[in-house]
Amino acid sequence: MSEAPARGARIGAGQTPLLVAAFVLLSLNLRIVFGGVGPLIPSLELSHTAATVLTTLPPLCMGLFAPIAAGLRGRLGDERSLFAALVVLVLGILLRSVGMFGLFAGTIVASIGVAVLNVITPVLVKKRFPPERIGVMMGVYAMMMGGGAAAIAALSVPIYRASGGSSAIALGVAVIPAVPALLAFATQLKFGPDKGQAVATKRWSGLLRNRTAWSVTGFFGLQSLMLYTIFAWLPTIYVAKDVDRATAGLYLSICVIAVSVGGFFGPSLAGRRADQRLPVLVTAALCFVGIAGVLLAPTGSAPVWAIVLGLGLGAGQGIPGVLYVARTEDRQTAAQLSSMSQTFGYVIAAAGPLLTAALFAASGSWTLPLVVLLALMVVNAVISLPAGRRGVID
């Protein structure tokens, strides 16, 4: 049975600017808190083990804490839950800037906030925007998410140097875009839980036995594994190919920019279709071709493969949001599918950088890790077909 929208919840002409502004600012902040850490790691004087833990914490925590979103929205409603998650995100950013303990503790706190934002944001889109705008809004979501990460990655080192080597300032600058997002979402606090609806009572039991739900989860998980692996190791891979560090970092920046582009166009195009199998296959194919280029092509053509790979990675982050909406009949099921997918998916993603590092250590070359990534994209193309097939989860 379809879930009737709460009275006044569907977007109207008078509330459009405030809602869209809040949504855009929220989306912008979903990866800014993490995007500036990687470039600063050489300056933070961390051991290899500590650096690995720090870069693994975000996807791991986003997976482990995703389930709390369902209970939170059942108590507070979607809009108030998102506001609360933004408060946690701001607190995490501030804590992360206070010493070495704060760096790790703040990363965990910020990741908890982002975990809730990740799960509920697609549900908000299903609730507050007309069906014909869902694909575009999820495209905006993924584009702003990637754009925020790209911007902070480019600015973190210059800010660190301009501040006289202050990691607190370089990391704390992420609070600047987070506060406007918090203030913008304060305008949506009038929307509470839907009356008479137990939005958080449905368990995962049904979804855990559903092939389509696992297909969506597999698609998101393998695409996220690829994303976090490339973000962690792409410059190192090119340095091993005798590319200087600055140029290798530039290749990653090009890839991140392409992630923003793919993040917009992937879900925008997928949202126009009742069947998303073609966009899903194209996404996996772009990642496969991009990785093959990194592995086999001359380093002079690296920007081309960075762009191809980035387009696939970006689409792979945005299209799952469309699938959460397209494969479900009501917001309750959409929230559960989003939570299930991200709980398992981010745990899978957290294993990516660790797996590739282990394969590199065992083989002494990046060839084996890249071949494994190619194989995973073939697997992804096969297991993700049910996720794109027209219809809704029973």
Q: What is the mean pLDDT of residues 280-289?
A: 97
pLDDT top residue among 292 and 164: 292
Say if residue 261's pLDDT is above 70.
Answer: yes
Model confidence band, residue 11 (pLDDT cutoffs 50, 70, 90): very low
pLDDT at 385: 95
Model confidence band, residue 202 (pLDDT cutoffs 50, 70, 90): low
Neighbours of 195 (CB within 10 A): 7
- 112-126 burial string, b = 16+ CB within 10 Å, else e? bbbbbbbbbbbbbbb
In this structure, of 173-177, 200-204, 258-262, the range with the lowest mean pLDDT score is 200-204
Q: What is the mean pLDDT of residues 128-149?
A: 86
pLDDT at 372: 97
pLDDT at 320: 94
Q: Which two tokens stand for residue 314?
A: 């970006």
pLDDT at 199: 45
Q: What is the mean pLDDT of residues 258-276?
A: 91
Say if residue 44's pLDDT is above 50.
Answer: yes
pLDDT digits (tens, 9 = 90+) for 51-79: 778 888 889 999 999 989 888 888 888 89
Model confidence band, residue 12 (pLDDT cutoffs 50, 70, 90): very low
pLDDT at 253: 83
Of 223, 279, 69, 257, the closest CA to residue 154 belongs to 257
pLDDT at 34: 84
pLDDT top residue among 15 and 187: 187
Model confidence band, residue 197 (pLDDT cutoffs 50, 70, 90): very low
Say if residue 335's pLDDT is above 50.
Answer: yes
pLDDT at 1: 38
Say if residue 331's pLDDT is above 50.
Answer: yes
Q: What is the mean pLDDT of residues 264-289?
A: 94
Q: What is the mean pLDDT of the chain?
A: 87
CATH of 14-193+205-388, one of 1.20.1250.20, 3.50.50.60, 1.10.3720.10, 1.10.1200.10: 1.20.1250.20
From residue 12, how far is each of 8, 15, 43, 129, 343 by CA, in Å? 8, 6, 48, 9, 33
Query: Rg of the chain's alpha carbons, rounded to an integer?
Result: 20
pLDDT at 3: 44
Say if residue 380's pLDDT is above 70.
Answer: yes
Domain spans, the chain: 14-193+205-388
pLDDT at 390: 93
Say if residue 31's pLDDT is above 50.
Answer: yes
Instruction: Report d(CA 359, CA 350) in Å as an integer.
Output: 15
pLDDT digits (tens, 9 = 90+) for 114-126: 999 999 998 898 8
Model confidence band, residue 4 (pLDDT cutoffs 50, 70, 90): very low
Model confidence band, residue 132 (pLDDT cutoffs 50, 70, 90): confident
In this structure, of 195-199, 236-240, 278-282, 314-318, the range with the lowest mean pLDDT score is 195-199
pLDDT > 90: percent of the chain: 50
pLDDT at 200: 43
Q: DSSP string spanning 256-311?
A: HHHHHHHHHHHHHHHTT-S--HHHHHHHHHHHHHHHHHHHHS-GGGHHHHHHHHHH
Say if residue 6's pLDDT is above 80.
Answer: no
Q: What is the mean pLDDT of residues 41-57?
A: 80
Q: DSSP string spanning 217-254?
A: HHHHHHHHHHHHHHHHHHHHHHHTTT--HHHHHHHHHH
